[in-house]
Amino acid sequence: MANNSTPTKSPDKKEKVYASEEEKFRDEHFHALALYERRKFVPRESLLHQIWVQNTSAYSSLKGFNHLFLVLCGFFVITHPFIYYNRTGELFNKRLYNTFKDEFFSVILLWPAFTLWSYHAFILQKLLLLGVPLFLLKIYQHLTQSLMFIFSIWLCLSKNWGLTHTCFILFQTVIHFFKMHSYTETNFLLREEALELKKRGLKPLSPYPHNVNLKDFTYYLCAPTLVYWHEYPKNDRIRWKRFFQLVVRVMFGLLAIYLIICEHFIPIIEKGHKTSVLDAVFQLSLPMLFFSLFIFFVIWESILNGFGELTRFADREFYLDWWNCTNYEEFNRKWNKIVHEFLYRHVYIYCLYVLKTSRFFAQLMTFLFSAVLHEFIVAVILREVKWILVGFMLFQIPLFKIMQWCQGKAIGNFIFWFGIILGVPLIFVLYIRENFNGWIFPS
């Protein structure tokens, strides 16, 4: 009779094969870096641009919709001045223009100022290589990152800036915070791994510390990504024709956004309590949808691709097919891939593999971090903390479970779009209706 006391391996379960001892060591001891490597950047175009360059029937059949969107955008921007002139005697509504004409160039100059401040992350790495104690550099890291937020809040409140200036400053603050934090934390991990590999007599898996140089860091600051890695795929040349096409798209898109705000948002907002919440939401539903689509088109499809062209950054997957989503968990992953990647690497993975927390706690902390950051931006803009956005975002956690039944089904996509069309204007109305201030859109 055969001895069955010795356990046998399941034929379906395969042992992981590593290309080298170094890769095995990284996977076992620096799993965060192993995950970064697996999610590394690769050359690829953005989805909407593929409609223009791919000749396959699946893509070419969608070109008409892309052309239609561009024609509608151009038609809306070109015809509106004639309509507005016949109604008011002026070519355009100056309400929003009045919010950014004052100190416009001063605000624009803060962009290079934030960029220069971000070099503190590079200085920190150089100090580490010079032998400065790590605990002092941790203080330096959090101090330089915190001071950037403190300065931005003080600037927006003391200057009493309106919507446009405040949004620009806060977005610059968050973007440069992400870049500084990712550069610092990733290099901390690369350094720790390099020291451990050297101690064990194994070959290095990364170019650290040679990647800590001024050229590498400057390129990273200019590249359209919020997460640092020691190498990025690059195109052979800058496609100047495409770059100028993107510039034209940005100009037309911004004009369309301007017109939507002036002609549809401001008149409804100013009514305040004269109209019900439901009425305001219904009136804003379609303008808000087009506003959101134009924002997506301008930022994710045009501006980011523009920076990608100038830096020859080849990985243009800034978003996935979020319009096909069948639940909101999928939407959170797809609509803003560059922010999602930062949250995944530096909040979720950090909690999971560095702090050794549970998967649920890591997910919860990721959601809380994102929600509080969104609330911070809205609070500085409105000069008031309401926690409405945090509440809506946390409500999505049980909603993920509820909507699992419609995952991958057409009904799920219908529910998704229904929520987008009504949910976004509802949040907007709840924030603005109660405390509309003239400083946001001055007369």
Residues 102-111 pLDDT 10s? 788 888 999 9
Which residue is listed with tokens 């909507």? 403
Identify any residues that bridge with 234 across adjacent strands, giving them in sequence order: 313
Domain annotation covers residue 344: yes
Residue where one domain finishes, among candidates 232, 267, 290: 232
pTM reported for the whole predicted model: 0.90
Q: What does the block give as tokens for 209?
A: 């510390």
* Least-confidence region, from 133-142, 211-220, 392-401: 392-401
Residue where one domain finishes, among candidates 208, 232, 256: 232
- Known catalytic membership, residue 374: yes
Q: How many helices (H) and strands (E) does the chain have?
A: 21, 0
Given this model, what pLDDT does residue 93 score?
A: 82
Segments forming the whole domain that contains residue 129: 93-232
328 plus 226 within the same structural domain? no
Angle at 390 between CA 438 and CA 376, to 5 degrees: 50
> Is residue 146 predicted with pLDDT exceeding 80?
yes
Q: What does the block give as tokens for 155?
A: 């600037």
329 plus 213 within the same structural domain? no
CA distance 206 to 187: 10
Domain annotation covers residue 146: yes
215 plus 346 within the same structural domain? no
Query: Would you tell me how many other CB atoms lie within 10 Å of the CB of residue 106?
Result: 10
Angle between helices 277-296 and 410-432 (to 10 degrees): 110
Angle at 90 between CA 88 and CA 96, to 5 degrees: 100
Domain annotation covers residue 68: no
85 vs 195, higher pLDDT: 195
Find the mean pLDDT for residues 358-362: 90
Residues 31-81 pLDDT 10s? 888 888 888 899 999 988 877 766 555 566 667 777 777 788 788 888 888
The set of residues, in sequence order, having a beta carbon less than 8 Å from that of 116 and lying 6+ positions away, is none
Q: What does the block give as tokens for 98?
A: 């009045």
The residue from 29, 49, 264, 374 that is catalytic is 374
Residues 187-238 pLDDT 10s? 999 999 999 999 999 999 999 999 999 999 999 999 999 999 999 999 999 9
| Coil, helix or strand at residue 223 | coil
Q: Are 53 and 45 in contact (CB under 8 A)?
A: yes
Which residue is listed with tokens 């499809």? 301
CA distance 20 to 185: 25
CA distance 166 to 172: 10
Domain annotation covers residue 214: yes
Residue where one domain finishes, among candidates 232, 263, 280: 232
Given this model, what pLDDT does residue 57 score?
A: 54
Domain annotation covers residue 167: yes
Domain annotation covers residue 22: no
CA distance 161 to 50: 40
Grade residue 151 by pLDDT with cuts at 50, 70 and 90: very high
Q: Are 270 and 436 in contact (CB under 8 A)?
A: yes
CA distance 269 to 328: 28
Angle between helices 359-382 and 388-402 (to 10 degrees): 150
The burial of 78, by beta-carbon neighbours within 10 Å (0-12 exposed, 13-18 middle, 19 or more buried), is given as exposed
The set of residues, in sequence order, having a beta carbon less than 8 Å from that of 347 and lying 6+ positions away, is 362, 365, 366, 369
Q: What does the block give as tokens for 190?
A: 């690369």
Given this model, what pLDDT does residue 15 score?
A: 64
Element (H, E) at 375: helix 359-382
In the chain, the amino acid numbered 346 is H
225 plus 328 within the same structural domain? no
Q: With left for phi above 0 and alpha for psi between -120 and 50, is residue 321 left, alpha or beta?
A: beta
Domain annotation covers residue 66: no
| Total count of domains within the chain | 2
Domain annotation covers residue 46: no
The set of residues, in sequence order, having a beta carbon less than 8 Å from that of 87 and lying 6+ positions away, is none
